[in-house]
């Protein structure tokens, strides 16, 4: 038995999310069905994160245990060949120690959320960014991010369906980077609550539109009440971009 670490890129639009679902296709199912066809044995793929329907990844990390003798390169090539035309690709594959776990060994997770501020509909980036048809005040948004960085109770920014034991999280980074009509929001933490990034971005957009002040971000956080949330951003612009491990 060999444990392989995978680096996975996918377009989340055709999927119900990463995790296998009974009511629609998932990225996990696509890869596991492919592994069954390759090895003749069922295999479970464990990921660093569980992205929602419509959320994308540029470098999701995962692992799988394979009993059949095969090299990492041959496994990667075989998975990619059989995944076509699904918008999922294995970017890297390597054998790792048996105690390496994509989820539990991970020490930090990174996301990017993209907003495009223009009146015209999106064409090439439709489904890959959130279009807001007017400019946003990115300075005010950056001021708002400062109210959330650190260790807090993020109940307000947590989905009602979140299964985490505690709403306490340490947000290490929340940065707003603007380039003409494109705004990228970068978030980093050891772990996130369900919908936490989308909820923070939605409220930051309200700050950028002048509907909220940066102080309103702090008030929402302090409320520790989901009903205090101003807006949950759509999944379109959210990308899982990196997972960090002690051995990296």
- Which sequence positions are flagged as catalytic? 52
| Residues with Cβ within 8 Å of residue 8, at least 6 apart in sequence | 27, 31, 47, 57, 59, 60, 61, 62, 88, 89, 90, 91
Q: How far apart are CA 175 and CA 204, in angstroms?
A: 11
For residue 127, what are the CA distances in angstroms to 31, 49, 53, 236? 22, 20, 11, 5
- DSSP characters over 168-221: EEEEEEEEEEEETTEEEEEEEES---TTHHHHHHHHHHHHHTTSS-HHHHHHHH
Q: How far apart are CA 76 and CA 82, in angstroms?
A: 10
Helix (H, G, I), strand (E, B) or coil at 116: strand
Cβ atoms within 10 Å of 113's Cβ, excluding its own: 27
Cβ atoms within 10 Å of 246's Cβ, excluding its own: 8
Helix (H, G, I), strand (E, B) or coil at 142: helix
**Nearest residue to 131 (alpha-carbon basis) of 52, 236, 206:** 236
Q: Scanning the structure block, which residue is given the tokens 């670490």?
A: 5
Q: How far apart are CA 163 and CA 27, in angstroms?
A: 21
């Amino acid at each position: 038995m060999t444990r392989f670490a995978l680096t996975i890129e996918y377009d989340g639009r055709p999927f119900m999310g990463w995790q296998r679902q009974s009511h629609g296709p998932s990225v996990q199912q696509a890869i596991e069905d492919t592994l069954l066809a390759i090895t003749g044995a069922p295999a479970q793929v464990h990921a660093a994160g569980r992205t929602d329907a419509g959320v994308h990844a540029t470098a999701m990390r995962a692992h799988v245990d394979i009993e059949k003798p095969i090299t990492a390169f041959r496994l990667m090539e075989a998975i990619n060949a059989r995944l076509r035309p699904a918008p999922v690709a294995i970017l890297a594959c390597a054998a790792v120690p048996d105690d390496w776990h994509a989820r539990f060994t991970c020490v930090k997770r990174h996301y990017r959320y993209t907003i495009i501020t223009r009146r015209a509909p999106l064409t090439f980036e439709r489904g890959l960014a959130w279009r807001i048809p007017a400019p946003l005040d990115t300075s005010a948004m950056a001021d708002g991010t400062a109210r959330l960085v650190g260790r807090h109770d993020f109940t307000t920014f947590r989905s009602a369906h979140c299964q985490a034991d505690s709403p306490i999280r340490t947000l290490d980074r929340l940065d707003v980077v603007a380039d003409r009509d494109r705004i990228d929001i970068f978030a980093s933490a050891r772990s996130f609550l369900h919908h936490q990034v989308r909820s923070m971005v939605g409220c930051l957009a309200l700050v950028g539109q002048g509907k909220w002040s940066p102080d309103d971000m702090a008030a929402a956080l302090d409320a520790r009440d989901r009903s205090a949330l101003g807006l949950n951003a759509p999944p379109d612009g959210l990308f899982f971009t990196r997972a960090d491990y002690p051995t990296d």
